[in-house]
Each structure stands twice: as structure tokens, then as C-alpha cells.
Amino acid sequence: MLSESKSGQPRKPLPFPDRPILFFGGKGGVGKTTMAAVAALDLAARGHRTLLVSTDPAHSTADVLQAELGDRPRRVEERCWAMEVDPEREADRYIEAVKERVASAAPPRLLGEVYRQIDIARVSPGALESALFDRFTRILEDEREEYDRIVFDTAPTGQTLRLLSLPELMTTWIGGLIKRRRKVGALAQMWKNVAGSEATSALENDPLLGALEERRDRFQRARRILTDPARTAFVFVVIPERLPIWETEKAVEALAKHDVPVGAIVVNQLLPGRDGGATEDPFLAARRERQAGYLARISESLGDWPVLRVDLQDSDPVGVDALRRIPVYEP
């Protein structure tokens, strides 16, 4: 089902990739939050139950939609829900969960020092990304049965690339922890056997080992989803300027190394076409010529994917109605 235009005719679907999972990313300030919201509303208008998820620490999704959002889905329009994930809160939740698991496995005399080390890890580099990815994997598993489409509004490019590289890194790291945990359990069982104990195997009902294996399996499932071009696509939003284009070119190369499929490039904030008439203002003429050069570069370096265009708007596109009026078109 498509929404109707002002003329009463069904609205033509926008040319975004149609996948169960879409990521929108790009350099800060290029309009990725706006484009993610436009895509989510368009998918909802097509009849898909759609969830828009912001993982950007500097949340602006609520501002763009003019809605109150939290860390649970809230309905913002027919068939469209949105939420904002707070990385700091997720890190705190993750640390508390780790402490609970450790408390059931570590000797009481060591808990104080163990907790201190865990608190240190909370503020170490990569802690926020790890906690955020943990929530991200849970969203993929918990919400995909509820929603037909999930659209992620991600953090600026660098942080997003670190996040998407975590499945490989974390799976390898957790695999090492599992091996060591099993080795410790095997040694403990050996001493029980020497002592003649008939107690349950040290590896059975081990809460830490079980948690590690569950997390490893969840990360592996997430990686399969992220690298499946039939289910996932990453959409880069860029403006016709040198640095955003350069950063996008590098990001596309990085995603290729991790087998994350790119679905489209959205060129935002283009000057609308001239309507003829009087001679154009020299400043606008120079800007238009400069943008034409950058468009040529985008076509050359990023033309392996659909390149979509969005014209510069005459006002801030805020609210559902304004977002729905933004035209995304193919040249």
C-alpha cells in the first residue's frame, strides 16, 4: 500500500534499496539522519512495518521526526516506529550484566578486585562500541520478527566502521576466552577426579562459559546477516564536497574488506536546476559548476552503485509531513 500524493494519486516509491535491513551512514552533517527518516517513512508508506533505530550518540532522530523517543520503539506514524539507543546506558547495562555473571562464578574473596577491573574496562577504548554492538545484535534478533524493515541511523563514518568490524574481531576474541575457560574447567574437573569427587562436571552449568558461547553464537548470526546482500544494504549519504566524498570512498573500501554490501550512494544538498530566464548570480553559477565536478567524481569512483540525488531544501525538513515531501530521485 502506497501513501497518496496531494493530487490523490498513489505516491511513487522512493528509489532506496529495498532490503529487510538498511544502514544509513556518512560524515557528520551530510544529512544521514534525515535520509534514514525519509527512507523509514517511505518503507512504511509501502506497507512495511518499519523500525527506525538511531545508534548515533549525538541523537537527532527525535528532533527530525519531532517526536519523543527512548530506547524502546515508539510509534511515530502509521506502520513506522522509532527508537534511540544510548551507548552510555548500554555500556552501564552491559557492565552490570558481566558483574552478575562473575558473581556466580568467582570466589567471594576475589570479587572486589574483579569488580574493580571490570569498572576499569568500562572506560577503556572500545567499551562503548562493544556494548552498543551487543544491543545492536539483540535488536536484529528480537525485532526482526516484529518488523518487516529495520533502518539504522548510524554514527559518523569512523565509529560506524569500527562497529561493523566488531563481529569478526569479537568472535575471534570470544573464541579464545571460551578455549581458556574450558581449559580451566577441565583442570578443575581433573582435580575433582583425583580427589574422588562425584560432583557434576566443572564444565556443566558454567554460567560464564554459557554466556560466552551464547554471545559468540549471536555475533556469528549477526555477521551472517550483515554480509548477506539479500537482507542488508549500507547506504552512504554524501554532499558534493571534497572531504565527504573522500571519506565515503575510503569507507566503501573498508566495508568491502568486511563483506558488508553497499546498496546506494545518496548525494544530498544539490543546488536545484535552473529554470532559465535571467543570468544566474555569479556565486551560484560557481557553486553549480563546482558541484558538477564533484558529481563527476562520484560517478567515477562510486558509480558501481546506484547514485541517488536530493536537492537542497529551502527550509529545514522537520516533522513527518516535511520529510515525506523530500524528493529522492535518480538522474
pLDDT one-digit tens code per residue, 246-284: 999 999 998 888 888 999 999 999 998 766 556 778 888
3-state secondary structure of 107: coil
Q: Which of 1-15, 92-106, 160-174, 177-191 has the highest mean pLDDT?
A: 92-106
Confidence of residue 6 (pLDDT cuts 50, 70, 90): very low
φ/ψ (deg, to 5) at 193: -65, -40
Amino acid at 110: L
User: Does 99 fall in a domain?
Assistant: no
In the prediction, which pLDDT does 276 show? 59
User: Does 277 fall in a domain?
Assistant: no
Contact 269, 312 (CB under 8 A): yes
User: Does 13 fall in a domain?
Assistant: no
In this prediction, residues 215-223 reach a mean pLDDT of: 79
In the prediction, which pLDDT does 230 show? 95
User: Does 84 fall in a domain?
Assistant: yes
Domain that holds residue 191: 21-92+123-272+284-329
**Half-sphere exposure for 330 (CA within 13 Å, toward CB):** 11
C-alpha cell at 84: 534511540
In the prediction, which pLDDT does 149 show? 97
The enclosing domain of 262 has a CATH number of 3.40.50.300
Look-up of cell digits 512504511: 44
What is the torsional sign of CA 271, 275, 276, 278? negative
For residue 89, pLDDT beyond 90:
no
Q: Choose among 157, 150, 98: nearest CA to 127.
A: 98
Q: How many domains does the chain have?
A: 1
What is the pTM (predicted TM-score) of this model? 0.81
User: Does 159 fall in a domain?
Assistant: yes
For residue 157, pLDDT beyond 50:
yes
